[in-house]
Amino acid sequence: MPNPLDPAPGRILVVDDDRRMASQLAEWLCSLGWHAFAAGSADEAERSPGRSADACLVDAFLTANGGRRVAATVRANSPTAVIVALVGRDGNRPNWADAAVAMPGRDEDLLAAITAGRTAAATRRPTDGTATRGVIGSHPALLHVLDVVERVARTPATVLVTGESGTGKSLVARALHAASGRQGRFVEVACGSLAEPLLESELFGHVAGAFTGASGDREGRFLQADRGTIFLDEIGTASPALQVKLLRVLQEMQFEPVGGSHTQMVDARVVLATNEDLPRLVTEGRFREDLFWRVNVVTIEMPPLRRRPDDIPALAQHFLVHAARRAGRDVRGFSPAALEALLRHTWPGNVRELQHAVERGVFLGRGSLVDAGDLPAGVLAGSVAIRGAGSPLKDALATPERQLILGALEQAGWRRDVAARALGINRTTLYKKLKRLGLELAELQPAR
């Protein structure tokens, strides 16, 4: 019988808490041409060479949310990998998988699930930021955003992008411009960073003598965006006077420079963004109602990162690659502990916070993998707080204890007796803690 898989099989990881079943399934896949690996738990999968596989079959009922962990690990190492969940007869496909198959089942059903998973994975947005122009992820909420971007990009519609700070609103604006076919520039203005007189001049330009220091005519950002796109960030901070001018520009695409009387016309696509509740500002009288309806033609809401945790591995790997290149270091990925900390943190600063956390890990880490101790304390604290609710206290406190010990050793020049005194423990206790935490000084201490 011909193998229905196309293209040819590659590397595949099979994870099931029944280790013997995982091994048998891996052997069968090997007979079909796959290079298969078997693992009996999420922990074993995270250490397996198969974590960088092209596909993964994983038991959806692994303990401690193991299925999600395995999927995150595999995608962190191979962002385009196919994830197929092994479920029961009445089981549904979990949201972290591309496809699902009921087990035990027929061979052809399993092969069909892998093929279906490949089809689903192929429709996911690329995670290298090329086709999506920097908007990375495959969560349904984000895919909806990108679908709206594609549908409105070539229209003249004004677009309002909403969402919390750090969710990537400016990336959506750039994606709209890139897909619009407009030949002009993409011009970005941070409305909240300039005082009103300066902002009005920034947007509309000014003529010589318009105010103190205006020694010559100056072209405004709207004119610079002619035949292109102008992105007005933090639009909720605009003053009442500026709101009146913006309303006219949006209605007629006409304006006068500050201090001037000559009317200028532009053909610019307008994209606005805010992290504020504009309807509430309208109710409070702080934002014009007529301007609100003018900017609210098409609204795109960027989801916070905590709502799409399955995108964290791909985003983190993307930021790691760029940070490693900037630092000139050979950093290839994340340790299981670091990846778990990233997945457990709630990310109040959203994607921007994740980027900074990964960059810190790359810049301060010593090995080829970013470890948990290389991440910011705030990320680890959030992870420990969540773990403490359902894990033994000893496990929950392991990460901060590890950081304290490593910090003391580094300050002591890696002398264990000095570090032990600084920690208020004896040297024997320090040895035991190092052993329990799996810390090998020979590997941690920098080469002399």
pLDDT tens digits, one per residue of 307-322:
888 888 888 888 998 8
Q: What is the pLDDT of residue 3?
A: 43
Q: What is the pLDDT of residue 259?
A: 73
Ramachandran region of residue 427, left (φ > 0), alpha (ψ -120 to 50) or beta? alpha
Q: What is the pLDDT of residue 205?
A: 79
Residue 128 has pLDDT above 50, yes or no: no
pLDDT tens digits, one per residue of 52-96:
788 899 998 887 678 888 888 887 777 778 899 998 877 778 878
Residue 443 has pLDDT above 60, yes or no: no
pLDDT band at 134 (very low <50, low <70, confident <90, very high): low
Q: What is the pLDDT of residue 336?
A: 82
Q: What is the pLDDT of residue 311?
A: 86
Q: What is the pLDDT of residue 7?
A: 45
Q: What is the pLDDT of residue 2?
A: 36
How far apart CA 18 and CA 30 sit, in angstroms, is 19
pLDDT band at 396 (very low <50, low <70, confident <90, very high): very low
CATH code of the domain made up of 307-444: 1.10.8.60
| Residues of the chain above pLDDT 90, percent | 24
Mean pLDDT of the chain: 81
Residue 213 has pLDDT above 90, yes or no: no
pLDDT band at 448 (very low <50, low <70, confident <90, very high): very low
Residue 372 has pLDDT above 50, yes or no: yes
Q: What is the pLDDT of residue 355?
A: 93
Residue 156 has pLDDT above 60, yes or no: yes
Residue 301 has pLDDT above 90, yes or no: yes
Average pLDDT, integer, range 128-135: 48
Asked if the domains 11-123 and 307-444 are classified in one and the same CATH topology, the answer is no
Q: Which residues pair with 274 in a beta bridge?
A: 162
Ramachandran region of residue 31, left (φ > 0), alpha (ψ -120 to 50) or beta? alpha
Q: What is the pLDDT of residue 214?
A: 63
Q: What is the pLDDT of residue 131?
A: 36
**SS3 readout for the chain:** CCCCCCCCCCEEEEECCCHHHHHHHHHHHHHCCCEEEEECCHHHHHHCHHHHCCEEEEECCCCCCHHHHHHHHHHHHCCCCEEEEEECCCCCCCCCCCEEEECCCCHHHHHHHHHHHHHHHHHCCCCCCCCCCCCCCCCHHHHHHHHHHHHHCCCCCCEEEECCCCCCHHHHHHHHHHHHCCCCCEEEEEHHHCCHHHHHHHHHCECCCCCCCCCCCECCHHHHCCCCEEEEECHHHCCHHHHHHHHHHHHHCEECCECCCCCEECCCEEEEEECCCHHHHHHCCCCCHHHHHHHCCEEEECCCHHHCHHHHHHHHHHHHHHHHHHHCCCCCEECHHHHHHHHHCCCCCHHHHHHHHHHHHHHHCCCCEECHHHCCHHHHHHHHHHHHHHCCHHHHCHHHHHHHHHHHHHHCCCCHHHHHHHHCCCHHHHHHHHHHCCCCHHHHCCCC
CATH code of the domain made up of 140-301: 3.40.50.300
Q: How far apart are the first and last CA of the chain?
A: 60
Higher-scoring residue by pLDDT: 113, 119: 113
pLDDT band at 127 (very low <50, low <70, confident <90, very high): very low
Average pLDDT, integer, range 25-31: 89
Q: What is the pLDDT of residue 388?
A: 45
> Which of the following CATH numbers is that of domain 11-123: 3.40.50.2300, 3.40.630.30, 2.60.40.10, 3.40.50.1820?
3.40.50.2300
Q: What is the pLDDT of residue 161?
A: 96
Number of Cα atoms under 13 Å in the Cβ half of residue 419: 23
Average pLDDT, integer, range 226-230: 92
Residues ≥6 apart with Cβ < 8 Å to 88: 61, 102, 103
Q: What is the pLDDT of residue 357?
A: 93
Of 223-232, 379-388, 427-436, the poorest mean pLDDT is in 379-388
How far apart CA 14 and CA 199 sit, in angstroms, is 58
pLDDT tens digits, one per residue of 317-365:
889 988 988 888 888 888 888 888 898 888 999 999 999 999 999 998 8
pLDDT tens digits, one per residue of 200-210:
888 887 776 55
Residue spans per domain, the chain: 11-123, 140-301, 307-444
Q: What is the pLDDT of residue 264?
A: 85
Q: What is the pLDDT of residue 435?
A: 74
Higher-scoring residue by pLDDT: 64, 14: 14
How far apart CA 265 and CA 249 sit, in angstroms, is 9
CA dihedral 274, 276, 282, 283 (to 10 degrees): 170
How far apart CA 313 and CA 342 sit, in angstroms, is 8
Q: What is the pLDDT of residue 295?
A: 92
